[in-house]
Amino acid sequence: MIPVLAPAILDALLERFPFSDDVVCAARRAAAREVGTATSDVQARAHANVLRAFADEGVAESDLAGSLGYGYDDAARARYESLLARIFGAERALARLSLVSGTHAIVAAIDACLPHEGRLISATGRPYDTLRNALADAPYSLTRRGVRYDEIPFDEAGDVDLVALARACERGVDVVFIQRSRGYAPRRSLSAIECGTIARTVRNVAPHALVLVDNCYGELVEATEPTHHGVDAVMGSLIKNLGGALAPGGGYVIGRAEVIERVAARHYAPGLGTGVGSTLGFGRALVQGLFNAPTVVGEALAGLDFASALFAELGYCVDPAPGEARRDIVQAIGLGSAARLVTFARGLQRAMPLNARFAPEPGAVPGYRDPVVMSGGAFVNGATIELSCDAPLRAPFEVYLQGGTSRSHAALGALFAADMLDKESK
């Protein structure tokens, strides 16, 4: 058993920043909680996977120069995508700066794999707002172009309803989509093994269907990835976990070679495929970020565990609970009201390296059904491996705390948010 947060880290923060007595007492109790070593053991294996990939790949410094223009024979791109394929136990990878977000990569992959008027099933219920918008609600969404789309709600226990999914697939399906992370919804996140179980369920009744996983926030959190357990491809953002806080942008699709070729043809043009796409001089940042990624993810997980313990000590509902196995870098904290969501975001903002003196306000965000309040001050805009939070202003009024490139910074952000909530309540 180990403490949630090393005493020296908490002492250093409390010496340098003023917090209310109630928050200090809760922080000391939270830091002193003992948790198992399961998370650190899993992280060690994930880190070893990355180290082995680099050892096997043999990247040379000259490979990092990359290219401009069309990107023919871009060595940085080739090395980077080969490293990703090795880490994920996959045949191929497509990782490009021109895939501007996780949502972009996900929609590109789904669209590429669907035939004309094909059928798409979401095995994990309603996707997060911006993806649901792209699939079914927005002008030019997939359903507006003839795709048949269904969602399988979670069962009463909060698990994927495999029976209902199998029944739906029996009626014909081309692509089954899995959202691994909770996103910004009151549901649990899925393990890589659970994604494999879903894939096997689908193939038992629809052997030709493709199973695609939104892997955002889950990369390198566990010792294996969904591609190790039989899914056809995973998609996500390069400025989350895999970017190691260094990647300047981009998205990825990793999986079977056939899927990668389909996505490349859709993203670029048929006949061009994976042979184009320059790294624009960012090859070094991409490769170094991937090398650092397991360490950064480990720091984020440690900081979120302290945040979970701190807010549990203060009487709030938290998921995951302190010490519970984590499947992603998202911590849900139930605050109970829209006003508290705004207060939390403003407190967290005070810890940001950039824009710390800004005061977040709720507002409309493209793709979201409800106003959202966000806190962030990342060096790469939108890089949620850096400390941030998002909170749609709707019941059950949960804030979703994510990332943190060091446990000290994540802990400081949690303390600032807790302190502002405490002061607002008095």
Strands in 251-255's sheet, in edge-to-edge order, are: 92-96, 251-255, 233-237, 210-214, 175-179, 119-122, 148-151
Cα distance between residue 401 and residue 106, in whole Å: 22
> pTM of the predicted model, to two decimals?
0.96
Cα 271 to Cα 211, 262, 275, distances in angstroms:
25, 11, 9
The per-residue pLDDT for 37 is 62
Same fold across 2-45+293-424 and 61-290? no
Decide: 172 and 318 in contact? Cβ < 8 Å.
no
The H or E element that residue 389 is part of is strand 388-392
The phi and psi torsions of 177 (rounded to 5 degrees) equal -105, 140
Domain boundaries along the sequence of the chain: 2-45+293-424, 61-290
Which residues does residue 260 pair with via DSSP β-bridges, in sequence order?
none
Give the CATH fold of the 61-290 domain: Aspartate Aminotransferase; domain 2 (3.40.640)
Mean pLDDT by 10 residues, the chain (426 residues): 88 97 97 77 94 98 95 96 98 98 97 97 96 94 96 96 98 98 90 98 98 98 97 98 98 98 97 95 98 97 96 97 94 97 98 97 86 96 95 95 97 98 89
The phi and psi torsions of 33 (rounded to 5 degrees) equal -60, 140
Which residues does residue 372 pair with via DSSP β-bridges, in sequence order?
363, 392
Sign of CA dihedral 385, 386, 389, 392: negative
Decide: 421 and 343 in contact? Cβ < 8 Å.
yes
Which residues does residue 398 pair with via DSSP β-bridges, in sequence order?
334
Residue 310's contacts (CB-CB under 8 Å, 6 or more residues apart) are 26, 27, 30, 414, 415, 418
What the block records as the tokens of 256 is: 């079977």
The per-residue pLDDT for 95 is 98
Residue 20's contacts (CB-CB under 8 Å, 6 or more residues apart) are 419, 422, 423
Residue 99's Cβ-side half-sphere holds a number of Cα atoms within 13 Å equal to 28
Which residues does residue 233 pair with via DSSP β-bridges, in sequence order?
212, 255
The phi and psi torsions of 375 (rounded to 5 degrees) equal -125, 135
- Beta-carbon neighbour count of residue 18 at 10 Å? 8
Q: Taking the mean position of all CA atoms in its chain, how far away is CA 172?
A: 30
Considering the domain delimited by 2-45+293-424, tell me its CATH architecture.
Alpha-Beta Complex (3.90)
User: Can you give the length of the chain in residues?
Assistant: 426
